[in-house]
Amino acid sequence: MSTTRTAVRTHWVAIRTMLLFTLVLGVAYTIVVTGIGQVSLPAQANGSVVRSGDEVVGSALIGQSFTDADGNPLPAWFQPRPSAAGDGYDGGTSSGSNYGPENEELITAIEARKAQVAEFNGVSPEDVPADAVTASASGLDPHISPEYARLQVARVAEARGLSESDVADLVESRIQARDLGYLGEPTVNVLQLNLALAELEG
């Protein structure tokens, strides 16, 4: 009888402890952390969504392609770097190619991309920066280098009937500095740049 009573008491203590920690760690903690995020960093807490008017057009954290129905790049838009994630910028299959720098397939792909980017933008292949022909490790990077953005200015300006100086000034205004002034490299968010480009035109 005493053994049964002890077992019941032990189980009841275990159940109460489980319920307490479920409420504290599973419910209260989640509400507190979510509340802190919504108050202090609401944009980041909600996915860093980018809007055009009232419409959500993407996320500042995930790149997207600016192509036609056949997958060809559109001359009137700034183009992102290549993506190895699924069919391109697929958040469900985030990945890089995992090829080393001496991999023949990667070398061949880079040379082909370099020729395509050079022809598309009317520049020499030697002027094409590395990020224009290589995918990021995640395949989702929404940024390009300022050099790649500047390389595209003439083509975008011509396609839209805008002056090169206006488009160049827009690019310069969208360059994001290094984090904390020294971490990483300056970048340009392609989606945000293209939204600003649409506003410049319209």
Q: Which DSSP string do the residues of 76-94 spell out, in sequence order?
A: TS-------STTTT-GGG-
Average per-residue pLDDT in the chain?
Answer: 89
- State the pLDDT at residue 174: 96
- Domain parsing of the chain, residue ranges: 2-42, 48-201
Range 22-26 average pLDDT: 91
* pLDDT tens-digit readout, 143-161: 999 999 999 999 999 999 9
- How does residue 67 score in pLDDT terms, banded at 50, 70 and 90? very high
- How does residue 34 score in pLDDT terms, banded at 50, 70 and 90? confident
Range 8-19 average pLDDT: 89
> What value, to the nearest 5°, has the Cα angle with vertex 176 and ends 159 and 100?
85
- State the pLDDT at residue 185: 94
- Residue 30's contacts (CB-CB under 8 Å, 6 or more residues apart) are none
- Range of weakest confidence among 88-92, 96-100, 125-129, 166-170: 96-100
With beta carbons less than 8 A apart as the criterion, state whether 122 and 75 touch.
no
Distance separating alpha carbons of residues 118 and 124, to the nearest angstrom = 6
Range 5-16 average pLDDT: 87
- How does residue 1 score in pLDDT terms, banded at 50, 70 and 90? low
Higher pLDDT, 193 or 13: 193
Q: Is the pLDDT of residue 202 over 60?
A: no
- State the pLDDT at residue 101: 83
* pLDDT tens-digit readout, 85-97: 888 888 888 877 7
Higher pLDDT, 14 or 129: 129
Task: Select the highest-mean-pLDDT range: 36-45, 58-67, 171-180.
Answer: 171-180
